[in-house]
Amino acid sequence: MFEYNKKLQYPVKIATPNPKLAKVIITQYGGPDGELGASMRYLSQRFSMPYPELKGLLTDIGTEELGHLEMVGAIIHQLTRNMTMEDIQKAGFDTYFVDHTAGVYPQAAGGYPWNAASIAVKGDPITDLTEDMGAEQKARLTYDNILRLSDDPDVNNVIRFLREREIVHFQRFGEALRKTQERLNEKNFYAFNPAFDR
Amino acid sequence: MRMTSGSPAPGGGCDYKNGTLPPCAPLAAGYVPMQEKNPETYDKEKALARGTLFPGLDLPFKNVTNKSNPYAGTPLGELMALQFMMKEMQLFLDTHPDDTVVFSALQNVIELYETGARTYARLYGPLSLKDMQYADKYTWTNDPWPWEYREKEGQN
């Protein structure tokens, strides 16, 4: 089960609203490599993971991703506060505003709503962990691109934190893959699926 | 062909930026170096600002790093830093369960966090529903909620 803790993992305190930037950053809320997908991917993959320490790792990283989802939502919320109609028009925020006003909706920067097609749950530890390593790199790259697009120091402070988390998670998933290999027959890692064949 | 290896640490083994790989390994498989046991760590303020407790994993984009975070030095910032250390140690221990040094460091941080969180809840408001045990009325839903912009950080 999950219990709410009434604080963010890392502070979000953005002095200057900027709806144009919000339109870009929302992709890490509900885009293909965003935090919603990350949490759903790991928290769903847990169920077929046969190894106790890796059930733990997927749970612990998946839970952290929910905290990142909340942080990205906080960024969008603070970047879109106190907007005038003129701000909305000037920022090109009108196409988002017409559907969601200043609400936070899980979508990609291009406007496409969150889609489970951007995650995978294959029910095989090597396959799922390899997916997870790729997912962390894609999220890291997306944060790199956000840093290229944003010159707001308050936003970039949070984005740098989130980006670094992707690197740490990549390392842990890589270690998880090594631990999976250690449990398999080293002559042929692909002889069977340890989550399915008993 | 051999990959260029990282610099060995003075006492043998790998330095903090490098981990271990098998000398020979089956083909058609992915390998990330295992982080060494009892790795070098940042202090808690720096860990939170950098996004990792471990200097060996700190690999910033264009080498631009956070010098601080907006709640540094506040009571809430202190708790965030402690909780972040717990998270980093948890993920490390998930793949290094036999590291007794990190395990006892985790136990110490949990104790500091629990004490700090109780004091915080008494002075500024609840972080968890359980903080209502010592409250004189129901303040769980009071503003501000964590995503809201507040000029004075770390204060409810």
Q: What is the DSSP string of A57-122?
A: HHHHHHHHHHHHHHHHHHHHHHHTTT--HHHHHHTT-HHHHHHHTT----B-TTSPBP-GGGS---
Interface contact A60-B32, CB threshold 8 A: no
Does the beta-carbon distance from B34 to A187 stay under 8 Å? no
Q: Are A28 and A166 in contact (CB under 8 A)?
A: no
Are B85 and B68 part of one and the same domain? yes
* In a domain? residue B153: no
Question: What is d(CA B80, CA B72) in angstroms, rounded to the nearest whole number?
Answer: 9
Q: Give the orientation angle of helix A125-149 with respect to helix A153-183, to 10 degrees.
A: 160
3-state secondary structure of B34: strand
Within a domain: residue B138?
no
Shared domain for B25 and B48, answered yes or no, is no
Q: Using an 8 Å CB-CB cutoff, list chain A residues near B48.
A: 10, 161
CB of B155 within 8 Å of a chain A CB? The answer is no
Q: Do A11 and B153 count as a contact with CB atoms less than 8 A apart?
A: yes
Q: Which two tokens stand for residue A87?
A: 């701000």
Q: Which residues of B touch A178 (CB under 8 A)?
A: 31-32, 34
The boundaries of the domain holding residue B80 are 44-127
Q: Taking the CA atoms of chain B, what radius of gyration do you get in angstroms? A: 20
Residue A125 lies in a domain: yes
Q: Are residues B31 and B48 in the same domain?
A: no
This prediction's pTM: 0.96
Report the amino acid identity of residue A162.
L
**Domain for residue B155, yes or no?**
no
Task: Count how many pairs of residues, chain A against chain B, have C-beta atoms within 8 Å.
Answer: 153
Contact by Cβ (8 Å): B26, A189? yes
Question: Are B48 and B21 in the same domain?
Answer: no
Same domain, B29 and B78: no
Please report the beta strands in chain B, taking only residues with DSSP state E, as ranges in sequence order: none
CATH number, domain of A59, equals 1.20.1260.10
Instruction: Give the pLDDT confidence of B118-134 residue by residue, as tens digits.
Output: 999 999 999 999 999 98
Which residues have CB under 8 Å from B32's CB, separation 6+?
A: A133, A170, A171, A173, A174, A175, A177, A178, B19
Min Cα distance B146 → chain A (Å) is: 5
To test the contact with chain B by mutation, choose from A82, A143, A164, A165 the residue with the greatest count of B C-beta atoms within 10 A, namely A164
Instruction: List CB contacts of B113: < 8 A, sequence separation 6 or more.
Output: B79, B82, B83, B86
Distance CA B150, CA B155 (A): 9
CB-based contact, A179 to chain B, within 8 Å: yes
Burial A56-93 (b: 16+ CB within 10 A, else e): bbbebbbebbbbbbbbbbbbbbbbbeebeeeebeebeb
Cβ proximity of A51 and A81 under 8 Å = no
Give residue B153's pLDDT. 58
Structure tokens at A73: 């939502």
Per-residue pLDDT, B154: 47
A-chain residues near B94 (CB < 8 A): 53-54, 56-57, 60, 172, 176
Cα torsion angle, A144, A148, A154, A155, sign? negative
Q: pLDDT of B106-118, one tens digit each?
A: 999 999 999 999 9
Whether residue B60 sits in one domain with residue B108: yes
As a whole number of angstroms, the distance between CA A86 and CA A163 comes to 33
Query: Has the ipTM of the complex gone over 0.90?
Result: yes
Structure-token match 């842990």, residue found: A172
Q: Verify cis geometry, omega within 30 degrees of 0, for the bond prior to B55.
A: no
In this predicted structure, the answer to whether residue B2 has a pLDDT above a threshold of 50 is no
> Which chain A residues are within 8 Å of B91, Cβ to Cβ?
57, 60-61, 64, 168-169, 172
Question: Is the residue at A2 inside a domain?
Answer: no
Q: Is residue B10 over pLDDT 70?
A: no
Question: Which of B51, B78, B145 is closest to A7 using CA atoms?
Answer: B145
Determine whether the interchain pair B91/A168 forms a contact, defined as Cβ–Cβ distance below 8 Å.
yes
Total count of residues recorded for chain B? 156
Q: Does B48 lie in the same domain as B26?
A: no
What's the pLDDT tens digit per position in B30-89? 999 999 999 999 999 999 999 999 999 999 999 999 999 999 999 999 999 999 999 999
Q: pLDDT tens, A78-126? A: 999 999 999 999 999 999 999 999 999 999 999 999 999 999 999 999 9
Judged by a CB distance cut-off of 8 A, whether residue B65 touches chain A is yes
Closest-CA residue of A relative to B72 is A11
Cβ of B80 within 8 Å of Cβ of A160? The answer is no
DSSP A192: S
Same domain, B49 and B82: yes
CA distance A116 to A3: 24
pLDDT in tens, chain A (198 residues): 999 999 999 999 999 999 999 999 999 999 999 999 999 999 999 999 999 999 999 999 999 999 999 999 999 999 999 999 999 999 999 999 999 999 999 999 999 999 999 999 999 999 999 999 999 999 999 999 999 999 999 999 999 999 999 999 999 999 999 999 999 988 999 999 999 997
* pLDDT attached to residue A198: 78
Residue A12 has a pLDDT of: 98
- Best residue in B35, B76, B147 for a mutation probing chain A (most A CBs within 10 Å): B147
Domain count of the fold of chain A: 1
